[in-house]
Chain A
């Protein structure tokens, strides 16, 4: 496979037009996360305690990329909560307390922390459970990162597909593309901006070339094409994105201009 051919593997456009801000930085600063939709379906009357809980949910939703609303649905036997992204149903929940945990998890908190610290991206390695395949993929990733001039500003986090503490995150990641749930392969998600997960590299697609291209994408000048049609999917998370640290990618590029994409 010729290296120049591999350039075609970029997930979204990299062109050097007007903007010299890097993709990772521009998206973090300017691109709001897509909102999930949490709907409470009920027959009509809401008990006082439910109203109180929903006021709390509204406050809770202010720090999360989620919109909460109630809808009357006569066909409902018992009230419930449903979580959507676009037209896709993510999950259904019986009560508000189980809803409140869907926006946080240790890994998500860590990812948010790393992105706000100015990291280029976080690579989430979702292991398949097949240790041979998982180890093979992990070695490729580590080798790629070791040889990358941006290794210091990329955080690698491994997640077990069966993790109970990260079950919501795993579910969210497996919804980045519609058929991921049926694929028993390790997956590598590049996460950048305000928790935007790119379409993953899968199994044999986890190669050094593909990882390099993923990094290239994030370190390239941002373009209108990116701004118009941002690749990837927003992941549900709790975060305050208002005051991120300066992008560390600029420090590396300033010190090593040869790394600039021309």
Chain B
């Protein structure tokens, strides 16, 4: 028996030895191993022969723009991994993983995930793991594709539209790396949404550690300016020694301690304009993407850059580094982390390079080349394969060489020739005929594009009809899991990608869908709707898009009538019922409380404010991606910002103007224009703009004053987009982008149109630009001419037309020029300044010369042109704004970055527009176009009372005294814009001021807002179209997106508060929080230790034993109002003392002290107990958080009243079992709270 076993084992050993690539030589993860070395010890045969070739479609990568596509290539091509003679591939378009026989190419099994599978797969011990945009980590059995375990990485099931797909709000794009049976991965790509980085037990999926809260760190962003936005995990993770390198999307990766999950470094700002999702490493260094396929080399210990332009994506074989490219270059990594070049060989490795045994395999435009590298010998080409299409990926495993082509083919080579190469590629069955019901719905709803939500998937004829008869992106909500699987199979077979039809399977709960996305909601099965469930009806209505979204009830009977009746009974604003034909509910008009943003500054009154009342903090993402910044002007040309009306966002490109759906980001139409390209030249872009090289990190497009000086060249209205093209104005149908009319001025002398504005039914056009060049008389310019060209700032004549017919109503000529930024209207009066630009007046004054006659402020009847009033004294500035509410006209200048020379803000005048009397005239300094916000004026950093011009004050949140209102803005071009509750601006990341609270500058971290102002609140959404074209900065994301109010979302601010030492009335200390924030009862909570921004200088002394800092995402904590307090804690505090006044002799007063706790270490009852003393008195004995809260991660607040304190207050925590833990402390002086 023993002999038989011996012989058997010997045979096995022999067979293994005989096979060129040993059985153990799988290719179990992307680029072979945890280092992403692309180097396996397994050898392939010297001669290789194509065995089979399978055809798949070309991948459509997740991101839309050339730069993003280069920096994040993780789903650019099919990425096979191999184990046990099976090839496994993930599909981003069919949301599936497929297993194929390595010898035949035949499919063995496939598995559908609930979202796109974009990151490479990882295999171990007969299991395959991968993540999806659905927020899950899946573990399947490699033999049959059955689920072994499934771990939800996202904190909740909420969905959004991401890259045109309905996905998790926290898509899992942490490409799995595995070491020692531990999986490292992550969910969420936007720090503002919270990030979740995991180490999981590979066998069970159990969490070993979870890093949450790091995403909110206050760190330096590009331009060395801080915001609450740390690493955003996106891309394939890598291991280097004891570090986990977390791919940061577009940036150089962050390093985490792989044992504890603590962040070690993330050099976002320090790394500069480089980074990307590709990283490979050894224990000493890592190579990270720069541009194209170039890498830079970094010290793994510190993250500091060692070498620029190290070489193209390399193979790492210990200290031997083989760089890919048009030729293979070999280098040696020295102990001092320098590289020495060794040799090079002409072999096309422009697509990929791997090492198997003693051979390098190079893939490129010409095919595949094998190069033998023998120590001491010249490398030699031993085999090659010619290909017409570029080889983009190579994998060597199980004796096979697998090649992936740029057109989506997988080719497999073996060691023996075959008689006939097997060609695989399924013919798709195509769609079967749709039902008449589908045709009826399409016809009667009039909806043929956008997003369509279908409740119930049983009626495939309906789905087929919708697919074939429309361009709708269909999302089917189906309760039956089996049906979902068969539908996925069916449409996969038919060749319909998941972007066109995807499926949501929830048995017992209604899916948490994003608001406003559905153009057409079809409830096809009464089983899905309960007419008595008002919440459900409201949810369905919320999902429906405003401005005409339809809800069709696709079934008959009394149930349908009751549902309609109940919808009506809900009395929701905007709902109408169409009874004729197919009954449907229509969501008419705007969202209640929403407001548009037209003209360059919100409206023709130049208020720089949207009246939108829906958008307020906290904010979360409604959608991201799905459109391209190629249709937007270069960011430094400072072209006109977007305008938003009736659910459409209108934005301009170099040679186009386009409309996007505010609620989904979908491109509605795009109209190209050569005339626009000509008009925009030297206005919104110039010779420094390089359209052809979007990957070149050079400074592409210098700063121009652009629309800051010129004003906008288009206006969006409900009916048309009015666009200046040369000397004419085109009326573009806002629904479809077609030019329906072209107006001219009726004057023969019109060379160009300058100003444009719309007031009710009137179109105001500036006829020709005023030329000031003669006055400047500086023929040889020393200063940047871009900022001294005043000839685009004013129009010679204003002409008013009927905006529907083009009939010329009246016109008026300027003495000098009607400055565009001053041409405004309100209450049927047109106001404008007719004068020289500010700098030219300054120059005359400086030279002691008189100003020319004729400068004036004019009031004109906007309907007749009659001059109502003309003012010739106190004429200054370049800006007018109007408050209809207060009948107040504000005269000012328009200072901001990237504005013409001389636009300093140091004076404002307010006039009563009715009596024409001056209300106030102040020498105030400001740095923004003045925002008229109800009865206030906001500028950059400051505010004033509109009716008095006096600085705004507010209540000091700590002492209760009066305090000058101000805020701090970090780095950012573009001006500040306002809505009812927010000021929005770039402040390193996107930033905002919550006008309802004293809490400072908040961050919306994780993407780059525009260099031109693009954070515009309108139509219920904070719009952020990607106005960053030509930007190369390594912000975590570069994309368009939209945010809406999400009350459960967290955010952090830098209050920039400085305590003056006077007695504290109230405050909160939020232990180990990332930043400040105000609570609903207006207590300002400071993070402690102070880590974000300047400290408030409230003295806190603390005594600890082995202090431990814990932070989770507030999302993880059960709390009615303040999860953001109880989601972080200090462990091991013995006592802490807070200074309450600088004066040690102040009399004692009574405070209510609230202590906030939450068990954040998953301790059980009895494992953590401590006594609490305040001011030396025991107030709680053997306090047990879990016992009182009932469970971990649940907030418990202990309130203690009547605590006497003078100049300080001391809290002691005396451990009884385990270590102490505290999340926060709130102090409120009791006479204050009684008020």
- Residues of A at the B interface (CB closer than 8 Å) are 2-18, 85-88, 175-179, 199-207, 210, 220, 223-225, 228-229, 231, 233, 261-262
Nearest 4 interchain pairs by C-beta: A204-B848, A205-B848, A15-B927, A13-B904
- Contact at B782–A175, with CB atoms within 8 Å? yes
7 pairs from A and B in contact (CB 8 Å cutoff):
A8-B838, A15-B926, A85-B782, A178-B782, A204-B848, A205-B845, A225-B904
* Docked complex Cα distance between A220 and B895 (Å): 16
In residues 282-309 of chain B, which contact A (Cβ within 8 Å)?
none
Say whether chain B's binding surface is mostly helix, strand, loop, or mixed. loop
B784: chain A residues at CB < 8 Å are 229
Which chain B positions have C-beta within 8 A of A202?
846-848
In the complex, how many angstroms separate the beta carbon of A210 from the nearest chain B beta carbon? 6
Task: Return chain B residues, CB-CB under 8 Å to A9.
Answer: 842, 845-846
Is the pair B925, A15 in contact by a Cβ cutoff of 8 Å? yes
Closest-by-CB residue of A relative to B964 is: A262
B1058 to chain A, nearest CB (A): 13
A15 adjacent to B841 (CB under 8 Å): no
Chain A residue at minimal CB-CB distance from B838: A8
Question: Would B847 and A17 count as touching, CB distance under 8 A?
Answer: no
In contact, B904 and A16 (Cβ under 8 angstroms): no
Interface 9-mer from B186-194, B411-419, B430-438, B773-781: B773-781
Contacts of A199 in B (CB 8 A): 843, 846
Whether A228 lies near B898 (C-beta < 8 A) is yes
Known contacts A10-B904, A14-B904; decide if A179 and B778 are in contact (CB<8 Å): yes
Question: Smallest distance from the beta carbon of B893 to chain A beta carbons, Å?
Answer: 8
Which residue on chain B has the smallest CB distance to residue A221?
Answer: B925
Within 8 A of A (CB), among B873-914: 874, 876-877, 893, 895-899, 901-907
B925 contact set on A, CB distance < 8 A: 14-16, 220, 261-262
Task: Please determine whether A233 and B782 come into contact, CB atoms closer than 8 angstroms.
Answer: yes
Residue pair B874, A178 in contact (C-beta under 8 Å) = no
Contact A15 B845 (CB under 8 A): no
Contacts A7-B907, A9-B845, A205-B847; A15 near B940 (Cβ below 8 A): yes
Cα–Cα, bound, A229→B923 (Å): 23
A8 touches B940 (CB 8 A): no
CB closest residue in chain A, given B874:
A5
Specify which of B848, B921, B927, B970 is in contact with A225 (CB 8 Å cutoff): B927
Q: Which residues of A contact B842 (CB under 8 A)?
A: 8-11
Tell me, rounded to whole Å, the shortest Cβ–Cβ distance linking A74 to chain B: 26
Q: A202-B846, A228-B703 are in contact. Are A17 and B927 (CB under 8 A)?
A: yes
| Beta-carbon contact of A210 and B923 below 8 Å | no
* In the complex, residue of chain A having the shortest beta-carbon distance to the beta carbon of B940: A17
Contact A225 B895 (CB under 8 A): yes
The answer to whether A179 touches B777 (Cβ under 8 A) is yes
Q: Could you tell me if A7 and B923 are in contact, using CB atoms closer than 8 angstroms?
A: yes
Q: Is B849 an interface residue (CB 8 A)?
A: yes
Residues in A whose Cβ lies below 8 Å from that of B905: 13, 15
B337 close to chain A: CB less than 8 A: no
Name the B residues within 8 Å of A14 (CB-CB): 904, 906, 925
- Is B923 touching A13 in the complex (CB atoms < 8 A)? no
Q: Which B residues touch A201, using CB under 8 A?
A: 846-848
The answer, yes or no, to whether B69 is at the interface (CB within 8 Å) is no
B901 contact set on A, CB distance < 8 A? 12, 229, 231
B941 interface residue per 8 A CB criterion: yes
Across-interface contacts of A11 in B (CB, < 8 A):
842, 846, 902
Give A178 to B783 CA distance when docked, in angstroms: 11
Give the most central of A6, A10, A175: most B CB within 10 Å. Answer: A10
In the complex the two chains form, what is the Cα distance from A88 to B845 in whole Å? 26
Bound complex: CA A87 to CA B785 (Å): 12
Total B residues in contact with A, Cβ cutoff 8 Å? 46
> If A10-B904, A179-B777, A223-B927 touch, does A18 touch B970 (CB 8 Å cutoff)?
yes
The answer to whether A178 and B779 touch across the interface, beta carbons within 8 angstroms, is yes
Q: Of B780, B847, B907, B970, which contacts A178 at CB under 8 A?
A: B780
* Identity of the chain A residue whose Cβ is nearest the Cβ of B778 in the assembled complex: A178
Q: Does B358 have its Cβ within 8 Å of any Cβ on chain A?
A: no
For window 830-854 of chain B, which residues contact chain A by CB distance below 8 Å? 838, 841-843, 845-849
Shortest CB distance A121–B (Å) = 16
Specify which chain A residues have a CB less than 8 angstroms from the CB of B906 in the assembled complex.
7-8, 10, 14-15
Which residues of B, 934-984, contact A by the 8 Å Cβ criterion? 940-942, 968-970
Q: Chain B contacts of A200 at CB under 8 A?
A: 846
- The answer for the CA separation of A9 and B784 in the assembled complex, in Å, is 20
- Cα of A189 to Cα of B969 in the assembled complex, Å: 34
Q: Does B787 contact A (CB under 8 A)?
A: yes
Residues of chain B within 8 A of A3, CB atoms compared: 923
Measured in the bound complex, the distance between the Cα atoms of B842 and A210 in whole Å is: 10
- When C-beta atoms are compared, the residue in chain B nearest to A6 turns out to be B845
Q: How far is the CA of A179 from the CA of B970 in the complex (A)?
A: 40
User: A residues within 8 A CB of B923?
Assistant: 3-4, 7
Binary A-proximity of B778-799 (CB < 8 A = 1, otherwise 0): 1111111001000000000000
Select from chain A the residue with minimum beta-carbon distance to B839. A11
Contact A225 B845 (CB under 8 A): no
Q: Are A210 and B846 in contact (CB under 8 A)?
A: yes
Q: How far is the CA of A225 from the CA of B838 in the complex (A)?
A: 15
- Name which residue of chain B comes closest to A13, CB basis: B904
CB pair B847–A18 under 8 Å, yes or no, is no
User: Which residues in A have their C-beta under 8 angstroms from that of B940?
Assistant: 15, 17
B705 to chain A, nearest CB (A): 10
Chain A nearest CB, measured from B1056 CB (Å): 10
Query: Contact between A225 and B941 (Cβ–Cβ < 8 Å)?
Result: no
* A contact residues around B902 at 8 Å (CB): 11-12
A8 touches B782 (CB 8 A): no
Q: Which residues of B contact A228 (CB under 8 A)?
A: 703, 897-898
Residues of A within 8 A of B942 (CB): 16
Chain B residues with CB under 8 A of A4:
907, 921, 923
* B787 nearest CB neighbor, chain A only: A229
Contacts of B782 in A (CB 8 A): 85-86, 88, 175-178, 233
Q: Report the Cα distance A199→B782, complex, angstroms.
A: 11
Q: Hey, which chain B residues are within 8 Å of A177, CB to CB?
A: 778, 782
Do A18 and B968 have beta carbons less than 8 Å apart?
yes
Residue of A7, A13, A223 with highest tally of chain B CB at under 10 A: A13
Contact status of A13 and B921, CB under 8 A, knowing A8-B841, A178-B780, A225-B897: no
B848 contacts across to A, CB distance below 8 A: 201-207
- Residues of chain A with a CB closer than 8 A to B877's CB: 8
Question: Given A178-B779, A178-B780, A203-B848, do A15 and B968 touch, yes or no (CB 8 Å)?
Answer: no
Contact B968 A225 (CB under 8 A): no
Task: Flag if B777 contacts A178 (CB, 8 Å).
Answer: yes
Question: Nearest Cβ in chain B — how far from A219, in angstroms?
Answer: 13
Q: How far is the CB of B1049 from chain A (nearest CB, A)?
A: 27
Contacts A13-B903, A15-B895, A175-B782 given; 11 further ones with Cβ under 8 A? A4-B923, A6-B845, A8-B876, A8-B877, A14-B925, A15-B905, A17-B927, A179-B777, A199-B846, A200-B846, A205-B848
Contacting B845 at CB < 8 Å: which of A203, A210, A229? A210
Q: Which residue of B lies closest to A203 (CB)?
A: B848
| CB-defined contacts of B778 to chain A, threshold 8 Å | 177-179
* Nearest Cβ on chain A to B876's Cβ, whole angstroms: 5
**Complex-state Cα separation, A212 to B889, whole angstroms:** 30
User: Complex: how many Å from CA A16 to CA B925?
Assistant: 7
Please give, as numbers and ranges, the residues of chain A lying within 8 Å of B847 by CB-CB distance.
201-205
Distance of A262 from chain B, by nearest CB (Å): 8
Expressed in whole angstroms, the minimum distance between the Cβ of A250 and any Cβ of chain B is 19
State the CA gap A17–B923 with chains docked (Å). Answer: 16
A residues in contact with B703, CB < 8 Å:
228
CB distance from B873 to the nearest CB of A (A): 9
CA A66 – CA B976 in complex, angstroms? 39
Which of A11, A17, A224 has the most C-beta atoms of chain B within 10 angstroms of its own C-beta? A17
Bound-state CA distance A202–B968 (Å) is: 39
Closest to A1 in B: B845
Give the residue name and chain of the B residue nearest to A214 (CB): B846
Q: How far is the CA of A15 from the CA of B777 in the complex (A)?
A: 28
A177 to B942, CA, bound (A): 35
Residues on B with C-beta less than 8 A from A210 are: 845-846
